[in-house]
Chains A and B, each alone.
Chain A
Amino acid sequence: MTAAVTPVGTNAEALAADSRRERRRAFFLTSPAALLIAVVVFVPVGWLFWLSLFDPEGALTAENYTRMLGSPAYVKTFKTTFEVSFVVTAVCVLIGYPLAYLLSQLPARAANVCMVFVLLPFWTSLLVRTYAWLVLLQRKGLINTWLIDLGVIEQPLRLVHNFTGTVIGMVHILLPFLVLPLYAAMRSIDRDLIRAAANLGSSPVGAFWRVFFPLSLPGLFAGVVLVFVLCLGFYVTPALLGGGRVQMWAMRIESSVNLYANWGAASALGVVLLIVTLVLLWALNKLFGLERVFSGR
């Protein structure tokens, strides 16, 4: 975006010099952080990419990548990863949006109390929560036992060791990641705008869809992107609740580490996941203007 006003004369020069100085200062101030990012992110990722180009004997090879195209196991895993991520994100939106809306409409104090309940599971170990779902969902678990005792069902439902179980577990873990940015966005929406819409003759439903909803979109997109990207790299929950049949990308990386004697095979998988994630973020950015979302404007 270009500056709305172009300053003129000596005043403009002084301003320009000042802003240059400020930029320099900002650069120096951020350099430790930038250095840290370079050391802990770019170097390892670069190394990962480098490793993926070699076979166990240390010869240059594209085998680690071509293997993915040749074997149906990889293609299927890739599809499963995206399927699970889409479904989990969609369910999170369906549950999270009304929840965040409710929270944003409550008085601040009540909302804070409710927020604790959203965050509480967030502070519990992921592994513990996943095992808890196993106990709840299994064939002789709490849910099936209750439903059978109440006479609702005759045969136990297959709730776990499959796609369903994986989605339930992941939604539970990822929901706060959607609710938090969404809630923040909704809180910052000026309520007077809704009143103005009503004043101008809009019905409550109309005011919601035409005023509130569009204004909440940046928060929603931020949440969706967070949840979706986190889904792509999920490991523990699908491994424990998927019954071995739901194989996601991260699990394939783990099995590659065990299967092949070098890091190359697993590195290649990591590189592919990273690239796909970046491409996806870029595409979402094109579609929804994410920089606007993250800059909070």
Chain B
Amino acid sequence: MISPNRLAKLIGAALLTGGMLPGGALAQDSVTFSSWGGSFQDAQREALMKPAAATLGITIKEDTTNGIADVRAQVTANAVKWDIAEQGSNSCVLLTKEGHVEPLDYNVIQTDGIDKGVIGSHHIGIIYFSTVIAWNKEKYGDNGPQNWKDFWDTEKFPGTRSVYAKPYYNLEAALMADGVPKDKVYEVLSSDEGIDRAFKKLRELKPHIAVYWKSGAQSAQLLKDGEVDMIALWNGRAFTAIKDGANAAFTFNEGIFDFDCLVVPKGAPNKDLAMKVINEFLKAENQAQLPKYISYGPVNAKAFDLGVLTAEEMARVNSSPQNAAKQLVLDGQWYVPRYDKLQERFDAMIQE
């Protein structure tokens, strides 16, 4: 029970803080930001949300999302709660195509230092993540698989594998394993024969794939429990699993770069303020804070020029210049027109 005296103090304090908000902003000025939850959202809170809220003098409310269906549901039901939603790169393009998101206001959002590849009319990148090869050190020691050829080489590296339960990353990885250089992957995939070639290579590895993982948490658990000997998973998950005691290692070599982006759902209640918040999230000095908390990288390359990151942080962040050079960038646009067909073909292949 709170004593009346204490309650009065609390109310007084609340009134006081309300009156002291900078910029004359009202206490009810707020935006709702929805991200993926967990340690990921914790990192975003520290690095992005707190500075943005302080600078703009607003409150950033949080929610979590499971993906594209959430945004669609809110928009189609005319019950939009979120002002900013984080989604996968492919989902952002799809949502734009479907007309479920607002156009972004690039008079407010500054894009200096951000790669053109992650900027769309209705979405903008927020962090980079990579799909990397990780392995169990108990099984392979320090010399685990260093590239996709090794991942496919079941004689040199016998053991069970795990990959994502979606065509993303898998098609690219299969082609690299089949000898396609990383800068030629999408050139090969531009033809039907190229897609067939990727599926053929995937089918080859099928008997050795023990698990097709569906969530980031699951992939980390598989690595940590030693359930599989090698796994293609997101670098942040691999990093956390190892930090939590997994006897494993991973390489950025031939990693596949992908990004998360921000969208403003159509009919968002605080659309204009959302643009300002997005701009704050993308500022180099805020982006440069991200690597302190997670190993997913800033999209704003200027963050690396500020000199606030230590050599160790530069080495572990996937989008630092030294790591980015080793990787392939996933082409979200390539997937959009054919994604449903690819996913169904992939599902059929898994079940064959």
Contacts and interface: CB of A to CB of B under 8 A. Distances in A.
Interface of A: 56, 71-73, 76-77, 80, 138-141, 158, 161, 239, 243-245, 247, 255, 257-261
B343 A247 contact: no
A261 B227 contact: no
Contacts of B343: 255, 259
A245 B347 CA distance: 8
List the 5 closest pairs (A to B, CB-CB), nearest first. Answer: A244-B212, A73-B348, A73-B347, A243-B211, A244-B165
B214 interface: yes
Contacts of B351: 73, 76-77, 80, 245, 247
Contact of A257 (B69, B345, B347): B69
Interface of B: 67-69, 72, 94, 98, 160, 165, 210-214, 225-227, 339-340, 343-345, 347-348, 350-352
A158 B210 CA distance: 9
Given A161-B211, A244-B165, A260 B350 contact: no
A244 B227 contact: no
Nearest to A261: B98
B226 A140 contact: yes
A43 B229 CA distance: 50
B214 A239 contact: yes
A141 B348 CA distance: 30
B96 to A, nearest CB: 12
Contacts of A139: 160, 225-227
Contacts of B210: 158, 161, 243
B213 A244 contact: yes
A138 B225 contact: yes
Contact of A247 (B72, B160, B347): B347
Contact of B227 (A76, A80, A138, A257): A138
A244 B226 contact: no
B141 to A, nearest CB: 18
B227 A258 contact: no
A232 B134 CA distance: 36
A258 B69 contact: yes
Given A244-B165, A255-B343, A261-B98, A140 B350 contact: no
A71 B226 CA distance: 35
A235 B286 CA distance: 41
11 contacts: A72-B348, A76-B351, A76-B352, A77-B347, A139-B226, A158-B210, A255-B347, A259-B340, A259-B343, A261-B72, A261-B98
A236 to B, nearest CB: 12
B131 to A, nearest CB: 16
A261 B211 contact: no
A77 B160 CA distance: 24
A247 B350 contact: yes
A73 B340 contact: no
A73 B344 contact: yes
B344 A245 contact: no
Nearest to B349: A73
A259 B346 CA distance: 13
A78 to B, nearest CB: 11
B213 A56 contact: no
Nearest to B351: A76
Nearest to B214: A244
A244 B344 CA distance: 13
B211 A71 contact: no
A140 B344 contact: no
A80 B213 CA distance: 19
A264 to B, nearest CB: 12
Nearest to A263: B76
B212 A245 contact: yes
Contacts of A76: 348, 351-352
Contacts of A140: 225-227
Contacts of A72: 348
B350 A71 contact: no
Contacts of A260: 340
Contacts of A257: 69
B322 to A, nearest CB: 34
A71 B227 contact: no
Contacts of B68: 258
Nearest to B164: A244
Contacts of A138: 225, 227
A77 B225 CA distance: 29
Contacts of B344: 71, 73, 259
Nearest to A240: B218
A258 B72 CA distance: 9
B98 A244 contact: no
Contacts of A77: 347, 351
Given A73-B351, A138-B225, A259-B339, 9 more contacts: A56-B98, A71-B344, A80-B351, A141-B225, A161-B210, A244-B350, A245-B350, A257-B69, A259-B343
